[in-house]
Every structure is written in structure tokens, then in C-alpha cells.
């Protein structure tokens, strides 16, 4: 560990749903050195634990964790998790409360959601090696948590006026400010115009580093002067899952993610290490390859997609491909059922 800096390692989305492999193996055994390279490990916990009062029916799909899969967190050993995401209320208030209790028992700090507005927006402040670091946790409304009207849990939604006040306040207490934010358009490697604009606003307001989650795929990392923006780290530990009888297969892009270690000094933050990993058969492996080329290509597309008509055309094509995929999937399932009836195999 460095004595003149703080090293914080960030990973993306984690889900502890019922389709997680039932095994006692350590899924992180091949990437452990990268995970614990620094002083603190931060992750986004996407799945609340299952409660006894049902589910948030306004949210589709829902991703709900099982208590038996808390062993995954125990193996990972994160120091901090963000709950500022669009699934944390999927199991309603009692599921949320069970999640908080489970984290507290395991000594894991949580930020970005709470029983009061003040709890949801409280910052994390770390003081080590004569450096003070502040981390703020947010999500954007367009990630669609679809909270019911009687929801008693507060999420730390971002808006420009609020974040300007938050960053201004925390910069009076710390040397460096990092924003960890749940944002973006799912399954698309290129950050949306809204993400790009928000990242510029955050940096102009005083953020030194911006780290993103939510899109389920890797998005580029950019240096903006002395500032760092990692738009999307991807699915870290988020196996395929079943919702209402349909299996969500992530595909290759949805099984890749980045482990990003950020070195923080009194006057700047920089990349200490970035490692691409892939989830295979319930275990994470380091993946080598031409990630730099892909990052460069995505950055070129960033400039092109800043033109709103081109971005909207990209979204239209993406949505049409998704509609065709689900149409043919429904046809396939229908034919399989019919064949099963005719052959006696169900």
C-alpha cells in the first residue's frame, strides 16, 4: 500500500439472485490480487434481499437477492457498497431493511439510499495518509427504479442544482471528490449525450473523478485534463437470471467488466490499475485482449453520438433489434411448447 496516496478500487454491478451457482467455491480466486490492490473496495449492490411482504410490482424486471448468496459478498469483502440504483427497492421496505442488516453484520458500509433524505445523500469521507477523500453516490431518474407512491425509502437522485451544492459542500472538507453514479442507457457501450453532458457538469462543479455503473456493459474511460471519467464498469458479478420464466442471457458483453483502481493524492487522482475480467461458469477470470482499441473506437463514437439526431437513430435501431429478438424468442418458446404437446415431452 502507498504511504503518500489512497488507492480505491471500484467494480460494477453485483447481483445475488436465485440463479447464482450453488457452490462453495470462491468466484474471485483468480482476480483477488486486483480486487485488493488498494485500501478500499467499492461496488454497486444491485439486488436487495428477498423480504416477506412481496415485491415492487411496478418494477420490471426485478432482481432480488437470496440470503444464502450473501456468501458471495463474504468472499468479495467490499468495504463500501452503493445502494443508489434502480433495483434496491425491488423487494420493498422489508427487503431493503434485511439488506441493510446483512451489510451491517458484515461490516460493509452503504451509501446512496436511506430511510430519510439525509441518510440517502450522506457522503463517504475517508481520511488516510494525510489525504481526505470524499465520495458521493447518485443515480439518475431515467434508470427507472419505478418506486411506488407509498415508498418509504429515499434514493439519492441527481440533478444539477443538488449536485452543485453537494460537491461545493464536500470540497470544503476534502482534498479530492469522487462521484459514483448509476446512469446511462443499458447494453450500449457508448455513453449517451446526457451522460457526457452530466460528466462535464460534475467536473465543472468540482468533481475530480466520475465512476459509472448501470449499463451492464463496459463503457470508455476518459481523461479530461486532470480529471478522470469512467463511464461504465459493466456487470462485475451478475450471472444470467430468470424473471417470470424468461432467462436473461447477458451474452459476452454483459459478462465482461472492469476492475478500476484509482490512486488519490492531495491534488489529483489517476488510474493506478485497470483490469478487464469476464464471468464464466460462476467464476471471474482476467481477460486479455485489445481493450485499448475498443476504448478508442467508443471514444470516437462519443463525438458522433453527441449529435442528438444520430443518438436517437442509434437508440431506434437498438430498440428494433431488441423487439425482433423478443419476438423470435416468443415464437421459439411457443413452437417448443407445441412440439412438446405433440410428442408428449413437456
Q: Are residues 256 and 346 in the same domain?
A: no
In-domain check, residue 336: yes
What is the rounded average pLDDT of the residues 255-272? 95
Q: Which residues of 123-151 are buried (b: 16+ CB within 10 A; e: fewer)?
A: bbebeebebbbbbbbbbbeebebebeeeb
User: What pLDDT is recorded for position 248?
Assistant: 82
297 in a domain, yes or no? yes
Residue 193, domain member (yes or no): yes
Cα–Cα distance measured from residue 16 to residue 45, given in angstroms and rounded to the nearest whole number: 9
Q: Which is more confident, 22 or 78? A: 78
Cα(346)–Cα(343) distance, integer angstroms: 8
C-alpha cell at 261: 483502481
Residue 250 and residue 206 share a domain: yes
Distance (Å, rounded) from C-alpha 68 to C-alpha 75? Answer: 13
Indicate the number of domains in the chain. Answer: 2
Cβ 125 vs Cβ 133: under 8 Å: yes
Place of cell 458471495: 72
- 3-class secondary structure, 298: helix
Tell me the percentage of the chain whose pLDDT exceeds 70: 85
For residue 1, being part of any structural domain is answered with: no
Q: What is the mean predicted confidence (pLDDT) over 109-115?
A: 97
pLDDT band at 15 (very low <50, low <70, confident <90, very high): very high
Same domain, 200 and 129: yes
User: What is the domain-level CATH number for residue 129?
Assistant: 3.60.21.10
Residue 203 shares a structural domain with residue 344: no
Query: Alpha-carbon distance 345 to 259, whole Å?
Result: 45
**60 has a pLDDT exceeding 60:** yes
Is there a single domain that holds both residue 209 and residue 340? no
Render pLDDT for 145-199 as a digit per residue (tens, 0 to 9).
Answer: 999 999 999 999 999 899 999 999 999 999 999 999 999 999 888 888 889 899 9
pLDDT, the chain, mean: 89
pLDDT digits 0-9 by tens, 215-233: 999 999 988 788 999 999 9
Compute the distance between CA of residue 30 and CA of residue 232 in angstroms, rounded to an integer: 22
Same domain, 229 and 195: yes
> Domain check: are 316 and 279 in the same one?
no
Q: Which pLDDT score is estimated for 317?
A: 66
Q: Residues 274, 312: one domain?
A: no
Do residue 252 and residue 338 come from a single domain? no
User: Is 343 inside any structural domain?
Assistant: yes
254 within domain boundaries = yes
User: Within a 13 Å sphere around the CA of 316, how many CA atoms are in the beta-carbon half?
Assistant: 6
DSSP string, 125-153: EEEETTEEEEEEEEE-GGG-----TT---
Please check whether residues 40 and 55 belong to one and the same domain. yes
Q: In terms of domains, do 28 and 129 share one?
A: yes
Amino acid 20: pLDDT: 85
The answer as to whether 260 is a domain residue is yes
Q: Which domain holds residue 318?
A: 308-346
Q: Is 199 domain-assigned?
A: yes
Query: Quick check: 319 pLDDT over 90?
Result: no
Q: Check pLDDT > 90 for residue 118.
A: yes
One domain, residues 91 and 129: yes
Amino acid at each position: 500500500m502507498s504511504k503518500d496516496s489512497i488507492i480505491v478500487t471500484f467494480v460494477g454491478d453485483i447481483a445475488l439472485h436465485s440463479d447464482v451457482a450453488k457452490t462453495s467455491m470462491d468466484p474471485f480466486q483468480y482476480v483477488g490480487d486486483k480486487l485488493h490492490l488498494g485500501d478500499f473496495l467499492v461496488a454497486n449492490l444491485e439486488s436487495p434481499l428477498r423480504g416477506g411482504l412481496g415485491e415492487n410490482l411496478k418494477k420490471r424486471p426485478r432482481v432480488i437477492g437470496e440470503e444464502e448468496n450473501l456468501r458471495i459478498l463474504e468472499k468479495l469483502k467490499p468495504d463500501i457498497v452503493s445502494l443508489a440504483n434502480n433495483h434496491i427497492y425491488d423487494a420493498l421496505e422489508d427487503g431493503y431493511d434485511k439488506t441493510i442488516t446483512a451489510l451491517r453484520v458484515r461490516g460493509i458500509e452503504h451509501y446512496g439510499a436511506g430511510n430519510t433524505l439525509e441518510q440517502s445523500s450522506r457522503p463517504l469521507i475517508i481520511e488516510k495518509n494525510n489525504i481526505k477523500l470524499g465520495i458521493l453516490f447518485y443515480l439518475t431518474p431515467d434508470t427507472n427504479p419505478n418506486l411506488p407512491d407509498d415508498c418509504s425509502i429515499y434514493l439519492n437522485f441527481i440533478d444539477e442544482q443538488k449536485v452543485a451544492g453537494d460537491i461545493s459542500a464536500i470540497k470544503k472538507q476534502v482534498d479530492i471528490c469522487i462521484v459514483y453514479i448509476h446512469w446511462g442507457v443499458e447494453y450500449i457501450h457508448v455513453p449517451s449525450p446526457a451522460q457526457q453532458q452530466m460528466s462535464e457538469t460534475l467536473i465543472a462543479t468540482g468533481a475530480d473523478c466520475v465512476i459509472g455503473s448501470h449499463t451492464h456493459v463496459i463503457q470508455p474511460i476518459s481523461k479530461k485534463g486532470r480529471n478522470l471519467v469512467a463511464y461504465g464498469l459493466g456487470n462485475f458479478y451478475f450471472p444470467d437470471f430468470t424473471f417470470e420464466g424468461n432467462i436473461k442471457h447477458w451474452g459476452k458483453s454483459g459478462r465482461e467488466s472492469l476492475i478500476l483502481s484509482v490512486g488519490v493524492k492531495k491534488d489529483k487522482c489517476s488510474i493506478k490499475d485497470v483490469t478487464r475480467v469476464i464471468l464464466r461458469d460462476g467464476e471471474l477470470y482476467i481477460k486479455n485482449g485489445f481493450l485499448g482499441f475498443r476504448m478508442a473506437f467508443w471514444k470516437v463514437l462519443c463525438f458522433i453520438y453527441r449529435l442528438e439526431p444520430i443518438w436517437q437513430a442509434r437508440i431506434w435501431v437498438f430498440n428494433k433489434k431488441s423487439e425482433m429478438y423478443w419476438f423470435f424468442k416468443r415464437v421459439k418458446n411457443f413452437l417448443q411448447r407445441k412440439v412438446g404437446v405433440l410428442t408428449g415431452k413437456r
